[in-house]
Structure 1
Amino acid sequence: MRTGLIFLVLAYVLSQFYRAFLAVMAPVLGSDIGASAEHLSRASGLWFIVFAVMQLPVGWALDHLGPRRLAAGLLAFGGAGGAALFAMAQGPGHVQIAMMLIGVGCSPVLMASYYIFARMYPPAVFASLAGAVIGIGALGNIAAALPMAWAVETLGWRETMWALAGITLVVAGAILVFVTDPPHARDEGAPKGSLLDLLRLPALWFILVMMFVNYTAPAGLRGLWAGPFLEDVHGMGAEGIGWVTLAMGLAMVVGNLAYGPLDRLFGTRKWVVVVGNSLALACLVLLWAAPTANVWVITALLAGIGLFGSSFPVIMAHGRSFFPPQLVGRGVTLVNMFGIGGVGLFQFASGSVFATASAGAANPTAPYQAVFLFFAVPLALGIGVYLFSRDRVD
């Protein structure tokens, strides 16, 4: 099982990579196939929306079929197939379809790991294991920064995408060979249940609201808007963008690893999430207020958003504490659907916000300030709602 988990984590590294690499590719895709920032924001948003919609069937399949065939099959078909389609893209529409396919392929890999943790490990260590997977997976964020910029400049973006398609297919094959499905709860005599049983839990709704807004700013900025912002406002090229987004990616790795054990350290999940996201909100507001600050300040603020906004594993563990055993698969995917769905909807809509703010803008900073504010206000509202949640630790 350890070998299987290693390949599931590698698959999640690819998932993190695919959700973030467009920021670095924005300049070359714009010049080669006419893909604007608005086109790419919609492509990125579609990745997250498709990923989120897939969580419902993925949750059912985890509880009924197990993680092995599910993760391997979807990663091979959607992940490798979507990367291959991307490599052949002739216009923005092809990129959007490719990103949707890649979203399908990436949709089960993290939840497959979480399902195994929830079924085979003590509940008290769930947040730490979940944070470790996301922290290691965030290496994909790093690979999508400076290394991706180097590969695009050295090999060409089409050749790079063909290589990624091959790597994805190999990882999918390894999952099929090495992952072992854990026993199903129904085999242990647990009663049947449905998604409606989860939705009847009042405590879960406050957690779902927080999850819906938690990851929108880190994913939205790291995955797309950091690149155009640094190019248009600070005059950076691919290498400079790569260095700044690398810093943000590293901060997200540290954040995910650090958040994992904090619930056991402080004896609370709720207040770890509240304090961390409040700090992320403060960085986001400062970025909105001073978008033309020197590059070191901008880098620090983007890294702060990545660091403090990486509370996903603690929110997931908070929700996990309310799930009955027979609904673990559907439970973790429901919470994940809200998190990824929020990113997708905000990412998709942020393109329209940017386009509207660009019309008649007196300077290049105004549209980006509108995008930063578009991420900040819902996060503040989400923190306010989450304050009413019921804390629970294992």
Structure 2
Amino acid sequence: MRVRLAVLCLAYVLSQFFRAFLAVLSEPLGRDLGVTAEDLSFASGLWFFTFALMQLPVGWALDRIGPRRTASVLLGIGGGGGAALFAVATQGWHIDVAMVLIGIGCSPVLMASYYIFARQFPPARFATLAALMLGVGSVGNLVASYPMAFAAETMGWRASLAGLAGVSLIVSLGIGAWVRDPEAPEGEAKGSLADLLRMPVLWAIMPLMFIAYAPSAAIRGLWMGPYLADIHGLDTGQVGQATLVMGIAMIAGTLAYGPLDRVFGSRKWVVFGGNLLAAGCLFLLAAMAEGGVAAVVVLCAAIGFFGASFPMIIAHSRGFFPPHLAGRGVTLMNMFGIGGAGAAQFGSGPLHAAVTAQAGAGAAYATLFAVFGAVLILGLVIYLFSRDSMD
């Protein structure tokens, strides 16, 4: 079991890397291919959008085909092929296609792990195991910061992406060789995604799932690099160091959330309190957008820490899933989480461009952070009507 989870964790390291590495490549990609921050916002949004759409077929595949073949085939073809295409890109649309392929490749990785947790471990341990997988796998977020910036400066971004294509293929082969599918219980009931959507108990959780991950994903994965370069004059290496700080904070937050449901005897109020603090940090960052660089990096880190409630929200909803719909349940919630991040990427680019044209770059970034905070508050208001779940 340790080897199986370790290879899935390596795959998730790649998934975390691919959703965040564009932030530190904005300068070299702009120089070599002529792409802008808005172009990268669109490409990043394509990754999240594709990833989210894939959760529907991935959920079906986990329940019917199993996590081994689902994760190994998609990661090898999508992740490896997409990274290889990125490495030879000569135009902006090549990056768009590459990010779509990579999104397909990364889509089953975390949910394959969560499916195994849901089927082979006691429900009370799900939140801790889910947070541990997310936290350890988020090393990829760190690799996508300063190490990726260093690699891009020393060996070039093309060689770096070519190497990642090879790593993706090797990890996919490891999943096929070592991961084992959980046994399906005899006489298992049948069901569909529609059965989950007809459960009112999930309706107040889904909006926050859609919103909660979006601010930290958008800031860490895309806007932190252009923001620190445009407003504070940081170069690629310095941006990499700053994003590394936020990445570490996101890992620490994920691991901190993991056992808190058992400490406080509640999942709902742990999620609510953490995201309320994240919203406060977003509003403060908006007010201080042109302030000192150390202060804004600390605020970005705080947003990453308090906004790392992703596995706890899934655990909250997991308490209501029927056992035979565990795969489709966790992928449905993941679709909302990643879909919200994708919507933030798509929407933030045009918003940034529009405000920049009217009021300048400083006002544009302040507006982005304030909008993220306001939408998060909206999700929390709806979440107040949810029912707590504890196993």
Q: Into which bin does the TM-score normalised by the smaller protein fall? A: over 0.9
> Which residues in structure 2 correspond to 1:94-133 (within 5 Å)?
94-133=94-133
User: How far does the alpha carbon of each residue in 1:9-40 deviate from its partner, in whole angstroms, 9 at most, with x for none?
Assistant: 11001000000000000000001001100000
Matches within 5 A, 1:226-375: 226-361=224-359, 363-375=360-372
**Amino acid of the structure 2 residue aligned with 1:46:** L
The alpha carbon displacement at 1:372 in A equals 1.2
Structure 1: which 5+ runs fail to align?
Answer: none
1:88-167, aligned counterparts within 5 Å? Answer: 88-167=88-167
- Which amino acid in 1 is paired with 2:220? R
- CA-based RMSD: 0.7
Query: What are the Cα deviations for residues 291-328 of structure 1, in whole angstroms up to 9, with x where unaligned?
Result: 11111111110000000000011100001000001100
Are residues 1:223 and 2:221 paired? yes
C-alpha separation between the residues in 2 aligned to 1:393 and 1:32? Answer: 52
The Cα shift of 1:366 comes to: 1.1
C-alpha distance in structure 2 between counterparts of 1:67 and 1:92, whole Å? 33
Please give the alpha-carbon distance, in whole angstroms, between the structure 2 residues aligned to 1:93 and 1:381. 35
310-319 vs 291-300, which deviates more?
A: 291-300
Distance 2:230 2:186 in 1: 58
User: For residues 290 and 190 of structure 2, what CA distance do their matches in structure 1 show?
Assistant: 56
Corresponding position: 1:377 with 2:374: yes
Partner letter of residue 264 of structure 1?
R
Q: Spell out, residue by residue over 1:38-61, the C-alpha distance to the aligned partner (whole angstroms, 9 max, x if none).
A: 000000001000000000000000
Distance 1:29 1:371 in 2: 23
Q: CA deviation at 1:245?
A: 0.4
Aligned to 2:198: 200
**What is the Cα deviation at residue 344 of structure 1?**
0.3
Question: 1:53-105 CA distances to partner (integer Å, 9 max, x unpaired)?
Answer: 00000000000010001100000000000000000111111111100100000
Structure 1 Cα separation of the partners of residues 322 and 313 of structure 2: 17
State the shift of 1:364 in Å: 2.2
So what's the TM-score if we normalise by structure 2?
0.99
- For the residue of structure 2 that corresponds to 1:366, the secondary structure is helix
**Residue 377 (structure 1) shift:** 1.4
Deviations 1:247-304 (A, max 9, x none): 0000001001110100011000000000000010011000101111111111110000
Structure 1 counterpart of 2:365, one-letter code: Y
Q: Quote how far apart the aligned CAs of 1:374 are.
A: 2.4
Cα deviation, residue 373, structure 1: 2.1
Deviation, structure 1 residue 350: 0.6
CA contact (8 A) 1:350 1:374 kept: no
Q: Distance in 1 between matches of 2:57 and 2:186?
A: 23
Q: TM-score, with normalisation over the residues of structure 1?
A: 0.98
Question: Following TM superposition, by how much is the alpha carbon of 1:188 offset from its aligned partner in structure 2, in angstroms?
Answer: 2.2
Q: Distance in 1 between matches of 2:194 and 2:258?
A: 29
Letter paired with 1:371: L
Across the two proteins, how many residue pairs are aligned to each other? 391
- The 8 Å contact of residues 12 and 110 in structure 1, kept in 2 or not, is answered as yes
Query: 1:378 deviation in Å?
Result: 1.0
Aligned-residue offset at 1:355: 1.0
In the aligned structure 1, how far is the partner of 2:316 from the partner of 2:358? 45
| Structure 2 gap ranges (5+) | none
- The amino acid that maps onto 2:202 is L
Shift of 1:194: 0.8
Q: Percent identity?
A: 58
Q: How does 1:6-45 map to 2 (within 5 A)?
A: 6-45=6-45
Aligned to 2:84: 84
1:120-152 residue CA offsets vs partner (Å, 9 max, x unmatched): 000001000000011011111100000000000
Alpha-carbon deviations, 1:167-225, whole Å to 9, x = none? 111000000000000012xx422211111111111010111111000000000000000
Residues 80 and 168, structure 2, Cα contact 8 Å, conserved in 1: yes
On the 8 A contact 2:355/2:361 being kept in 1, the answer is no
